[in-house]
C-alpha cells in the first residue's frame, strides 16, 4: 500500500445515515470518492453483515469493506457469496454462551424484547423504558457469567449489544490495518456513540459527531454533524 493510503472507518447509524434512513447523499459521494482515490474505506457497525450488504447494494457501493456485528464479521464488497477472508475472530466458548444467553433472555422477557438477526453478537431490543431497566438488572445478575465467558455489554439508545471481549469496533480495523500494512498515522474513525469508543481509542485520528462525553489525549476532533465531519476528514487526508 502507498504511504498516502488511509484506512477510513465510518460508523453507520447517526453518522453516515439516520436511523432507518438511506446513507446521506454527501456521505455516499465521499465514500465513493475515497475508494476511487485508493483509500481503504469501511462501514463499521453493530448491524449484521447482510444488513450492511443490502444497504450498500442499494447505494451501489461496490468497493467497500463491511465490518458487521461490531467487529465479529468482515467482508469485502456486496457480491454473493460474501468475500469473508478473515475467520475465527471469536472464541468458540463465547459463541456458545451467547446462544444460551439468547434463549434465557427470550424466556425471561418474552414478546417485550426482540433480537437482531445476528450470527455471533447479541443485540437485544426492548419495547419501553421499564423493559430496558429490567434488562440491565438481568445483566447485572449475570455479571459473574459474563466475566467467565468474557462478554461485554454496550448500552445503546434502543438496544443492548452483547459482545465477546476480544470483539469491538477496533477488531476489524486492526485486522484490515495489518492486512493492508497501513501506518498507524493513517487510521481514521468517524462515529457518534459509546460503542464507537474502541475505534476512537485505537485510530490515530478520531472525528466525533455530537458526542461531547468522549474525551481523549489523541488527535480528536469534535464536530456537530456529518458535513463538518467530512470537511475535517478532507483536512486530515490533505495533511497526510
- Taking the C-alpha atoms of residue 189 and residue 205, their distance in angstroms, rounded to an integer, is 6
| Whole-Å CA distances, 10 to 15, 45, 77, 141, 173 | 7, 8, 15, 34, 11
Global pTM reads: 0.87
* Residue reference for cell 471469536: 90
Question: What one-character DSSP code corresponds to residue 121?
Answer: S
Identify whether the C-beta of residue 177 lies closer than 8 Å to the C-beta of residue 193: no
Q: What is the largest CA-CA distance in the chain?
A: 54
d(CA 73, CA 67): 6
What is the pLDDT, as a whole number, of residue 166? 82
Torsion of CA 207, 208, 213, 217, to 10 degrees: 0
Q: Which domains does the chain have, with CATH numbers?
A: 7-88+167-239 (3.40.50.1000), 92-164 (3.30.70)
Confidence (pLDDT) at 88: 63
Question: Which parts of the chain sit beneath pLDDT 50?
Answer: none
pLDDT number for residue 87: 72
Which grid coordinates belong to 23?
Answer: 446513507
Element (H, E) at 50: helix 49-58
Strand partners, 66: 43, 75
d(CA 143, CA 99): 17
- State how far the Cα of 232 lies from the Cα of 158, in Å rounded to an integer: 29
Interatomic CA distance for residues 85 and 75, integer angstroms: 7
CB atoms within 10 A of CB 7: 24
Nearest partner of 76 among 216, 176, 204, judged by Cα: 176
pLDDT at 121: 86
Please tell me the predicted confidence (pLDDT) of residue 215.
86
Q: What is the pLDDT of residue 119?
A: 86
Q: What values do phi and psi take at 216, rounded to 5?
A: -160, 160
Amino acid at each position: 500500500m502507498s504511504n498516502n493510503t488511509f484506512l477510513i472507518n465510518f460508523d453507520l447509524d447517526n453518522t453516515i445515515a439516520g436511523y432507518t434512513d438511506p446513507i446521506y447523499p454527501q456521505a455516499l459521494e465521499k465514500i465513493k470518492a475515497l475508494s476511487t482515490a485508493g483509500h481503504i474505506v469501511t462501514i463499521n457497525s453493530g448491524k449484521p453483515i447482510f444488513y450492511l450488504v443490502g444497504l450498500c447494494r442499494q447505494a451501489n457501493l461496490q468497493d467497500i469493506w463491511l465490518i458487521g456485528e461490531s467487529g465479529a464479521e468482515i467482508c469485502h464488497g456486496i457480491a454473493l457469496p460474501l468475500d469473508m477472508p478473515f475467520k475465527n475472530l471469536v472464541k468458540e466458548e463465547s459463541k456458545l454462551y451467547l446462544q444460551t444467553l439468547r434463549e434465557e433472555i427470550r424466556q425471561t422477557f418474552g414478546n417485550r424484547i426482540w433480537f437482531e438477526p445476528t450470527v455471533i453478537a447479541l443485540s437485544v431490543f426492548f419495547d419501553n423504558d421499564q423493559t430496558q431497566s429490567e434488562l440491565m438488572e438481568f445483566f447485572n445478575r449475570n455479571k459473574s457469567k459474563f466475566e467467565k465467558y468474557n462478554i461485554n455489554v454496550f448500552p445503546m439508545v434502543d438496544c443492548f449489544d452483547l459482545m465477546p471481549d476480544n470483539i469491538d469496533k477496533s477488531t476489524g480495523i486492526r485486522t484490515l490495518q495489518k492486512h493492508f500494512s497501513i501506518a498507524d498515522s493513517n487510521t481514521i474513525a468517524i462515529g457518534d456513540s459509546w460503542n464507537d469508543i474502541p475505534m476512537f481509542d485505537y485510530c490515530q485520528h478520531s472525528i466525533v459527531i455530537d458526542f461531547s462525553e468522549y474525551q481523549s489525549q489523541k488527535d480528536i476532533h469534535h464536530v456537530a454533524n456529518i458535513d463538518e465531519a467530512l470537511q475535517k476528514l478532507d483536512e486530515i487526508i490533505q495533511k497526510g
